[in-house]
Structures are given as structure tokens and as C-alpha cells.
Structure 1
Amino acid sequence: MRNLDIDLLRTFVAIAQRETFAAAAEQVGRTQSAITQQMQRLEQEVGCVLFAKRGRQKSMTADGSRLLAYAHKILALNDQAVQLAHSRGVGEKVRIGSPHDVSDSILPNMLRRLSKLSTELEMEINVGRSPFLMDALRDGELDLVISTRYDDAFPGVMLRTSPMVWICAEDFTYNPGEPVPLVMADELSLFRKLSIAELDANGIPWRTSFMSRTLTGIKAAISAGLGITARTTELLDANMRVLTEHDGLPRLPEVAFYLYVQPTCASPVLRDLFESTERIATRFGPPWHD
């Protein structure tokens, strides 16, 4: 007895769903001629004609309709088996790092996707600063990291870009011409480097008003009206506002968020997440863009 090819059945179902060979070819990422050859092979495997010509169109025969019902069941069982295999690591521990900036946006989306890939994962989450997260990834202490730092030493994919803006308290008053009172992190901060570079490039004086190594400290200083910070829009709260060129401050660049995987990571679930994200980004651009 012959075994049916899963790829052929998947294409067969795609034709039934999309109703034309051309549309099915686009769905499965093959040429129309390749789709035709696949269906010829499937007809040889099952020993009957699945499609009949009706003028310029092809329609499914009665034998094709009977096979379609079984094809749906076979594919469903196949996909369940694959999913079960991917979640085979009962109690598997995965270590994920994320910067504070996207701990309320990108990180929850990623955790939701991981939980759908496997319900048996034990996730350890490290929310911190991008340079330290990248160091932990480099030292093998993390398996997957979201970071604002571009590093081609690791397999990586851009997840999204976010606008970087000047942020202050709702009732804060900035007087153009005076040194900008900056609330910022230490020298390791990408936001610090970018904001100072823009101010210097535009000849705008600045001074350090408050410095903190944590985003919590920066938010507290902004809410207290101690000055202005440059961060992505994720930092904004209801008691804050954005300053623009109309307020005498220069436009800031966008900041990219990347996803990196540990090259030696053995987790099939994390590999699946990273590779599927990479495929989406290659075809459609950053997958988690606003």
C-alpha cells in the first residue's frame, strides 16, 4: 500500500480552499506549474483523476471530493503530531531577556506565542537593560533576547521600530534657548547617546538634571517634573507629554528592537519561534510593527 505525501495533500487542500491553481500556488509559495506537477503526482499515488477540465478552468471530480474529506483529517492529525513533538520537552526551561521599554508590548506577545507552541515550558524572564541582556546572551545565560542593540554575532531579526521622542511631565515648562535639563541613564544607554548627539548636532545646550540606571527611576524623575528624557513612545504615561520641533527640540531617530537567539540553543520551541518570526520578517517586514 502506498503512503500519501503530506506536502501533496496540503497543496490539494489549498487548491480546494482558494478554488484556483494560481491562488493556491501563491498560498503555498510555489509556481503554478509546480502545483500542476504536484497534483499529477497525487493522482498517480491515489490512482484516480482528481480534477477535470471545464473550459479553461479545472474543477474537482467526485473522487477528488471524497479524497478532500480524508485530506483534511490527515493534515489535522499530522499537525497535531508535529505540535506534540515540539512540546516534547516537559518542564523544559527557557530563559528570555527583554528591555523594560517593551515589557508591556512585545514581550507579552512573544510569551503568548510561546505558550501556544508548548504548554509545558518553564519560562524564566529577565527584564533589564539591553547591553546587559546581550552580555548574558553572549555568556550563555539567556536563550532568547529582545534588544535595541544590533549585533551580527548572533542570529537576529528586527521585530519593529518605535519612534524616539522627547518626553516630559504634563505640567513641565521648557524654555527654548536654555540648556535642556536631561533625565537620562548612564553612558551605556543608547537613548542617552542618540539624544545628546542630536542636541550637539543642532547646537542646543544641555545639562544633566537627573541620572538613573533604571527605567523606573527615569519615569519617576519625569513624573516629578525634573526634566526631559528621550525614549520610545512606550514610556509615555497619562501624566506625560511629547515635545517636538515646535518646542525647539530636534527630531529624533527611530529605535529598532531585535530578537536574538543563542546559537547553541537546543530548544525546538524557541527555534520554531525564531525561525517563524524570521520568515515573516523576510516576506512582510518587521512582524510586530505598530
Structure 2
Amino acid sequence: METRDLDMGLLRTFVAAAERESFAVAAARVFRTQAAVSLQMQRLEAVVGCALFTRVGRNKRLSDQGVRLLEYARRILSLNDEAYRAITQEVFESPVKIGACADAVDTLMPEYLEMCAETYPSLRIDIQVGRSRWLASALRRGDVDLVVDVAPHEEFHHVVLRTSPVVWLAGARFHYQQNLALPLVLIDSACPFRGMALEALAQQERNWRPTFQTSTLAGIRAALRAGLGITPRTIEMLTSDMKVVDHELGLPPLPSIGYRLYSRVNDCSESAQKFSALIAPR
């Protein structure tokens, strides 16, 4: 039985037209004119020897043969694209090792990991979560290639990834009793958020009491949801089950905080350099 090769460009246009039921809409997707799309579909129909579309009003619908071809076309294009990426993508000999504070892992890192997976699918990433003092030591020893942290580490080269406003957060159902000291949910050791909060409250001469202290961000979230108090955190931590209470409670404004990417000067692996260049602001 005679077989003929199916042109990849024709199949890509065919899938675009089939999914949108319109040559005009498909034309914008494949960056061609509507006339060019029509001509391509005529060429594809000539190759397969049957009509692939039927007209329904102003739209195009797939014929029975078109429906069958669509399934194969998607599989062919997917395999083609996979093969191209496998051949052309960069190969990295070692993973990039990143140390990150809990706040960065909770807010920034998912976005950065998605960017990396799309741009460098073969690049492996190892993430270790820790407090600022440990992160600095790990970077100094070379146990990690990069550090993402909100605390300053003056000895290392850094770029600011994002500057975020810090707000007072509480659980959505939290209610404050005016006659009591302000209930605070805090990390149980020194951290930028704890420091700025206590300083701001001292300047306002506002009484406060620690109602819950924890060593983890997960503990902070749990205490807020339980209505145990309020805490200072970046706006990225705000979710549907929390609320900002700055104005409601007459609380002092807090300074913004920067998420910084730290690295050792002139001592960065290729993997770390690629990752840094990808996520650093342009």
C-alpha cells in the first residue's frame, strides 16, 4: 500500500483549525493569513485524499476522517516536539543546590521552578530550607550554590528578586478584644519579621503578648487559621482564609522587605549561573 509523508507544518495548522473551528482564529495562532490556512488545508486534504472539514454556518467542523486524523496529528506533533527538545536542550552535569528561607519556598520558589522546568527541563534542582544563619553558613561552605533569603548577608554578592510590602495578617475569622494586649503569633527566634514588628509596636507604645510561638512557617499559618493572633508577613502569604488587619486594628505600618538571591563571588557552577540568570529581574 502506498504511503505519503504528512507535512509537520500542515498538521500544526490543522490542529489549530480543528481546535478553534475557525480558519480565521487558527490563522492568528499559526501566524498566517486566513487565505494561507485555507490553502494549507486544501493541500493536506489532497495528501490524505478526503475532506477533513465540513462547513456549519460560519464555522468549520471536522468530518469523520478529520476527527480520526486529529488524534494522530496531536500524537505526531507531540513526539516531534519531544524529540526536538531532547536533541537541542542543554545537558547539565550537576544539579543547582539552593538554600532558601521558608517564606521564599512558600511564595517565590514555585514560580521559579516552573520557569526552570520550561526553559531547562534537564536541570535538576535541590532545595534545602533553613534559617538565615544556617543558610549563610551553607553558602560559605559551598554546601549550596545559591541562597534565597529575606535577611541581609553582606559578605555575598546578591540581586534583589522582589520587594514585597509587609502587612499584619490574621485568620479570616479573627476578632480582637480591645481591652487585651495585642495577641502576636511569632517565630520563636530572631528574624526580620519579628524584629520589625516589635520595633514598630514599641514606637507606637502598643502593648502586646505572645499567644503562639513556633519555629516553622507552617506553624504560623496554623495558628493564624485557628484565630490565635496576628503576625507580620509579606502580602504574598495572604490567602482566602486570611485577612489584612492593619487599618482594622490601627496597627503601625511596616517597611517592605526584599527577597534576595545570594551567591559566592566568582564561584558559581554553570547550573547555578543559568538558574540565576533565569530568575533575576531584567
The two structures have a TM-score, normalised by structure 2, of 0.62
Give the drift of 1:176: 4.0
Does structure 1 residue 87 correspond to structure 2 residue 51? Answer: no
Corresponding residue of 2:32:
none
Letter in 1 for 2:188: D
Corresponding residue of 1:153:
155
CA 1:161–1:176 in 2, change beyond 3 Å: closer, same or farther?
A: farther
Does structure 1 residue 190 correspond to structure 2 residue 202? Answer: no
Q: Is the 8 A contact 1:186 1:212 kept in 2?
A: yes
SS in 1 for 2:151: coil
Corresponding residue of 1:238:
240
CA 1:88–1:135 in 2, change beyond 3 Å: closer, same or farther?
A: same
Identity of aligned residues (%): 35
Give the drift of 1:233: 1.7
Give the drift of 1:266: 4.0
Give the drift of 1:88: 4.2
Q: Is the 8 A contact 1:261 1:274 kept in 2?
A: no
Could you tell which deviates more after superposition, 155-164 or 232-241?
232-241
Q: 1: distance between equivalents of 2:135 and 2:273?
A: 19
Q: Is the 8 A contact 2:100 2:128 kept in 1?
A: yes
Corresponding residue of 1:220:
222
Q: Is the 8 A contact 1:87 1:269 kept in 2?
A: no
Equivalent residues, number? 197
Out of 134, 139, 142, which is 1:140 matched to? 142
Q: RMSD between aligned alpha carbons? A: 2.5
Q: 2: distance between equivalents of 1:250 and 1:257?
A: 22
Does structure 1 residue 172 correspond to structure 2 residue 174? Answer: yes
Task: State which structure, 1 or 2, has the greater radius of gyration over its C-alpha atoms.
Answer: 2
* Per-residue Cα deviation, 1:204-235 (whole angstroms, up to 9, x for no partner): 01111110010111111111111111111222
SS in 1 for 2:165: strand
Corresponding residue of 2:273:
271
Corresponding residue of 1:64:
none
Q: Is the 8 A contact 1:186 1:211 kept in 2?
A: yes
In structure 2, the gaps of 5 or more residues are 1-83
CA 1:273–1:123 in 2, change beyond 3 Å: closer, same or farther?
A: closer
Moved over 6 A (4+): none
* Per-residue Cα deviation, 1:254-290 (whole angstroms, up to 9, x for no partner): 111001123364422321343565572xxxxxxxxxx
In structure 1, the gaps of 5 or more residues are 1-79, 281-290
Q: 2: distance between equivalents of 1:100 and 1:279?
A: 21
Give the drift of 1:109: 2.8
CA 1:125–1:250 in 2, change beyond 3 Å: closer, same or farther?
A: same
Out of 239, 253, 256, which is 1:254 matched to? 256
